[in-house]
Chain A
Amino acid sequence: MKIQELLEKIKANPVESVVSLNGEIVTEDAVAKDGDQVEIFSVVSGG
């Protein structure tokens, strides 16, 4: 499944999300397969 579809499915806003696939930051075009580890982090703009 494409990361873009995954974000849509869980209703995560792509402009507010950083996604890692097996420990590496990826874009929405990346594809996750069975057994892959996907983590979604929130963009942080405070400081």
Chain B
Amino acid sequence: MSRYSRQELFEAIGKKGQQKIRQATIAIVGVGALGSVSAELLCRAGVKKLILLDRDFVEESNLQRQLLFEEADVGKAKALAAKAHLQKINVGVEIEAFVVDVNFRNVDVLKEADIIIDGTDNLETRFLLNEFSLKTKKPWVYGGAVQDRGFVIGFTGRSPCLHCVLPKAQGVGTCDTVGVLNTTTTLIASLQVNECLKLILGTSVGDVMHVKLMDNKFDVLKVKKNSSCKVCQGQYDYLEGRKGQEIIRFCRTGSFQLMTTKRLDLKSLKQELGKSGTVEDLGFCLVFKNMKIFPDRVLIPAKTETEAKLLYNKNFG
């Protein structure tokens, strides 16, 4: 019996399906809670190649849900630590790891992939992936998880797209501000990989899957192309650098100023952030973990632009 006999026995895959899996190159953008689980499942399933991209480093608070990592990995770059573990799981899978912040300047690194898995923690990068997917006709699988709830959608690279589902979206709660269960992230990642396998096999995807675990609630929704969707009409604001965080470095204070993509509601933000730390309200701005938050910008003390962006996404999604 071969290494992959158990999935080959399943008639939806079979030997032919396994050959397709064996020829697939998958890029995973973000190797955190979702991405690390997706990477392990795809590695064990026997894809040809995994391309791992992550700008972050392993922290102790990641170990509760980021299954690939262990205590000795704390402080290591996630993409590199993930690669080291995955190589031990399956030497037959080629693994390439990049410690990068995926943005419009370097997104072409994803061209080699047949399918992209979303393991990101913010909407901005997802909108970038969405536009890249439509422009290059490359399938991708969106996944989002927070607390006990999450979404998964497999996109074919043609309409409808993520912007059809979330035309105005701005996420507030992130795993770092409102928390997340490891059961939620592993379930969402598993559903993402399942959609990815279906894309490899040529099976239909496109349903919007939503779960709310503490209520045992599972929803499968339909989505059609939004006739007014500008992204489906070829307007790629994130991909062409017109939208996204604008960053200015203040050398004197060692801070970075990030312009927000949408106007922040300080009142509701104060309430949200207050759940995970002390928020000082100065009237014109909020102070939270040494960050100064204005309706249209955030000042973040950080050593590098990447660190500032990381802190921004962790707290404001």
- B is bound to A: yes
The number of chain B residues with a CB under 8 A from chain A is 48
Q: Judge whether A15 and B144 touch: CB under 8 Å.
A: no
Cβ-defined contact, B222 with A45, below 8 A: no
- Determine whether the beta carbon of A45 is less than 8 Å from that of B221: no
**Contact flag A15-B30 (CB < 8 Å), given A46-B121, A46-B145, A47-B144:** no
Asked whether any CB of chain A lies closer than 8 Å to the CB of B285, the reply is: no
**Is B25's beta carbon under 8 Å from chain A?**
no
When the two chains form their complex, are residues A43 and B166 in contact, meaning their CB atoms are under 8 A apart? Answer: yes
* Contact of B14 with A by CB under 8 A: no
Q: How far is the CB of A8 from chain B (nearest CB, A)?
A: 14
CB-based contact B150/A18 at 8 Å:
no
Question: Could you tell me if B180 and A46 are in contact, using CB atoms closer than 8 angstroms?
Answer: yes
Interface flag for A44 (CB, 8 Å)? yes
* B34 CB within 8 Å of chain A: yes
From the candidates B126, B144, B145, B167, name the one contacting A27 in the complex (CB within 8 A): B167
Name the contact of B173 in the complex, choosing from A15, A24, A46 (C-beta under 8 A).
Answer: A46
Q: Which residues of chain B are within 8 angstroms of A25 by Cβ–Cβ distance?
A: 164-165, 208, 221-224
Counting CB contacts under 8 A, is A5 at the interface?
Answer: no
Question: Contacting A23 at CB < 8 Å: which of B145, B222, B228, B265?
Answer: B222
The minimal Cβ–Cβ distance linking A12 to chain B, given in whole angstroms, is 12
The answer to whether the Cβ of B297 comes within 8 Å of any Cβ in the partner chain is no
Which residues of A (14-47) have their CB < 8 Å from a CB of B? Answer: 14-16, 18, 20, 23-25, 27-28, 39, 41-47
Asked if B151 CB lies within 8 Å of chain A CBs, one says yes
Q: B317 CB to closest chain A CB, in angstroms?
A: 4
**B280 CB–A CB distance under 8 Å:** no
Judge if B119 is at the interface, Cβ distance under 8 Å: yes
Encode contact with A along B81-112: 1 for CB under 8 Å, 0 otherwise. 00000000000000000000000000000000
Interface residues of B in 143-178 (CB under 8 A from A): 143-146, 149-151, 164-175, 178
Alpha-carbon separation in the docked complex, A18 to B150 (Å):
12
In contact, B170 and A46 (Cβ under 8 angstroms): no
- A47 to B33 CA separation, bound complex (whole angstroms): 6
Q: Is B70 an interface residue (CB 8 A)?
A: no
Name 15 A/B residue pairs within 8 A (Cβ), A-sorted.
A13-B265, A15-B170, A16-B171, A18-B166, A24-B221, A25-B224, A41-B149, A42-B173, A44-B149, A44-B151, A45-B122, A46-B171, A47-B30, A47-B35, A47-B144
**A residues with CB within 8 A of B:** 13-16, 18, 20, 23-25, 27-28, 39, 41-47
Which B residues are closer than 8 A to A by beta carbons? 30, 32-35, 118-123, 126, 143-146, 149-151, 164-175, 178, 180, 185, 208, 210, 219-224, 226, 228, 262, 265, 268, 317
**Smallest CB-CB A-B distances: 6 pairs:** A45-B171, A44-B144, A45-B317, A46-B146, A46-B175, A15-B170
